Amino acid sequence: MRRVVYPGSFDPITNGHLDIIKRSSEVFDEVTVGVLVNVDKKGLFDIEERVELIRKVVKPYKNVKVDSFDGLLIDFMKAKDIKVIVKGLRAFSDFEYEFQMALMNNKLDSSIETVFMMTNAKYSYLSSSSVRQVAKFGGCIKGLVPDEIISMILEKAKK
């Protein structure tokens, strides 16, 4: 069984993330979305809320699971018996950081592989922080995030 993890902060999940999840679920047998408690980033949603939002939007994909983790990604993977990481690449600017992370993860555990998927060009400009900012200042986030979570994001961003 080809199991993969798609890790990230997902604060909140965007249509760019969902595109990678959907395409991964077509290529691999099981996709676990791993939501990181990232101490370096100030969050809008807490970890349980992020997991809940993702579960809502991945319902159509029966081979996608959602879980949270803290600490090292490779430890989460070990616990879940997963050997492959899927990441989306949006632009050249992502490459250096992703290259470094892939090598570090492989250095920490040489049985780990990272597979990159090109982010759909439609979403190459998108990031969770830009969504948070647009929502905070009352801009339109339709098309940037799944429709069913728009109201939750706008509500949270107002606070």
Binding-site annotation: residue ranges? 9-10, 17, 41, 73, 87-90, 98, 123-129
Smallest distance, ligand COA to C-beta of residue 36, A:
4
Strand locations in 59-156 (E):
64-69, 84-89, 113-118
Verify whether residue 41 is a known catalytic residue: yes
Phi-psi label, residue 111: left if phi above 0, alpha if psi -120 to 50, beta otherwise? alpha
Taking phi over 0 as left and psi of -120 to 50 as alpha, with beta for the rest, 49 belongs to alpha
Residues 69-108 interacting with ligand COA (rule: CB under 6 A): 72-73, 88, 90, 101, 104-105
Q: Which residues are annotated as a binding site for substrate?
A: 9, 41, 73, 87
The tokens describing 114, both together, are 């990272």
Which member of 5, 14, 66, 82 binds ligand COA (CB under 6 A)? 14
| 25 is an interface residue for ligand COA by CB under 6 A | no
In whole angstroms, give the CA distance from residue 159 to residue 151: 13
State yes or no: residue 50 binds ligand COA (CB under 6 A): no
Active site residue 17: yes
Examine residue 9 and tell whether it contacts ligand COA (CB under 6 A). Answer: yes
